[in-house]
Amino acid sequence: MRIDILTLFPGLFDGPFSESILKRAMQQGLVEINLHNIRDYSSNKHKKVDDYPFGGGAGMVMGIEPIDTCLSHLQKDQQFDEVIYLSPDGERFNQKIANQLSGKKKLAFLCGHYKGVDERVREHLVTRELSLGDFVLTGGELAAAAMVDAVVRLIPGVLGDESSALSDSFQDDLISPPVYTRPAEYKGWKVPDVLLSGHQAKIDEWRHEQSLIRTQERRPELLKSFE
């Protein structure tokens, strides 16, 4: 998979992309992540990328010209399956969307800043708008990093045990059950006997029951899919 990220602050990705699973995925050639500084595509001599909004009001707006120039430059060499704009009012990102995107070959993420981007960017240049949640971040970089992480870990070969991702929370619209490891007893706190029984059918049944219980307690709206 190839992922291109259009941003004003490429340095914000240094941490997330230089450690752990994402780093290994890039080293193994399973994903290629390219960062593009939108300022490099500005025709302004000061590399300015924002301006005051027409009609007045507080804040600044990212202009269309450098974004369009950057995308046009990239699209000379490849056709993106999706050009995604990170926006608080976009479609709420979830595990289902992560699964969908993990099957794509080429993705582009546009990170907004200030009061957002010129509306014509949204009307003509992007194919999808996604939101990390009902809150506002300083910019789209943190949201993009989180989404890229969620997508890349689903690519075959990225995780050591590919079945691991299938048991993650939300894969079946349920929260994952409790997990335990050694020792079996610590300070009098014991691991449930069923997990030590070696009876896989009973263990699977217990895990499913616990997933239902946790989902009912913590995210009951997810259970609507079972109704």
Please state the pTM of the whole predicted model: 0.86
Give me the mean pLDDT over the 120-148 stretch: 96
In a domain, 158, yes or no: no
In a domain, 159, yes or no: no
Residues 146 and 216 in one domain: no
Supply the pLDDT for residue 170: 57
Domain total in the chain: 2
Give me the mean pLDDT over the 194-209 stretch: 95
Last residue of a domain, one of 152, 176, 200: 152
Which CATH number is 51's domain given? 3.40.1280.10
Residues 121 and 186 in one domain: no
In a domain, 214, yes or no: yes
Residues 103 and 52 in one domain: yes
Shortest CA distance to 219 belongs to which of 178, 211, 227? 211
In a domain, 161, yes or no: no
Residues 33 and 131 in one domain: yes
Edge-to-edge strand ranges of the sheet holding 82-92 = 32-37, 2-7, 106-111, 82-92, 128-131
User: How many whole angstroms separate alpha carbon 101 and alpha carbon 140?
Assistant: 18
Work out the end-to-end distance of the chain between its first and last CA atoms, rounded to an integer number of angstroms.
36
Domain encompassing residue 112:
2-152
Supply the pLDDT for residue 65: 97
Residues 144 and 205 in one domain: no
* Secondary structure E strands in 8-81: 32-37, 50-51, 61-62
In a domain, 162, yes or no: no
Lowest mean pLDDT among 60-69, 135-144, 160-169: 160-169
**103-118 tens-digit pLDDT:** 999 999 999 998 999 9
**5-59 tens-digit pLDDT:** 999 999 999 999 999 999 999 999 999 999 999 999 999 999 999 999 999 999 9
Which CATH number is 210's domain given? 1.10.1270.20
Residues 62 and 173 in one domain: no
Supply the pLDDT for residue 176: 87
In a domain, 178, yes or no: yes
Residues 51 and 143 in one domain: yes
Residues 139 and 221 in one domain: no
* Secondary structure E strands in 20-157: 32-37, 50-51, 61-62, 82-92, 106-111, 128-131
Give me the mean pLDDT over the 140-152 stretch: 97
In a domain, 157, yes or no: no
Last residue of a domain, one of 87, 117, 152: 152
User: How many whole angstroms separate alpha carbon 88 and alpha carbon 92?
Assistant: 9
Residues 129 and 221 in one domain: no
Residues 144 and 172 in one domain: no
Residues 205 and 124 in one domain: no
Last residue of a domain, one of 152, 178, 194: 152
In a domain, 23, yes or no: yes
Residues 126 and 217 in one domain: no
